[in-house]
Amino acid sequence: MRSCRWCGRGFEVRAGRGRPRLFCAQSCRQKDYISRSRASEAGLAESELVITRRELEELRDKLFVLECAIGDARRDLAEGDDALAALEWVIEAAEPLLGAVLGESSTST
């Protein structure tokens, strides 16, 4: 199994001739091409990324919620509270980050 170079989703690698696939779908391949073209026009290095302020704020918000959930779970476990409830809270806080792809922001937070 390989991860898509654009979205990070896993996809099966097919045996056969030719170059190995880097993307899970043609749409991801196209988005990567457009991204590299725009980065080149803007003079950005391969390691640099441009995202909207809104996407960055949404990501920071989700990470803050996860940070709080982890802190709450640690405190609850130290106090001997229900471990299952603590785990459920951490999972609930982490789920919005699963599969999150920049440029495809969700409206549910």
pTM over 0.75: no
Residue 99: its pLDDT value, please?
61
* Positions in the chain short of pLDDT 70: 99-109
Closest CA to 7 of 108, 109, 98, 93: 98
Do you know the residue count of the chain?
A: 109
Give the C-alpha separation, 101 to 40, whole Å.
21
Residue 7: its pLDDT value, please?
86
**97: its two tokens:** 């980050």
Give the C-alpha separation, 52 to 61, whole Å.
14
Where are the chain's structural domains? 2-42, 53-97
Residue 105: its pLDDT value, please?
45
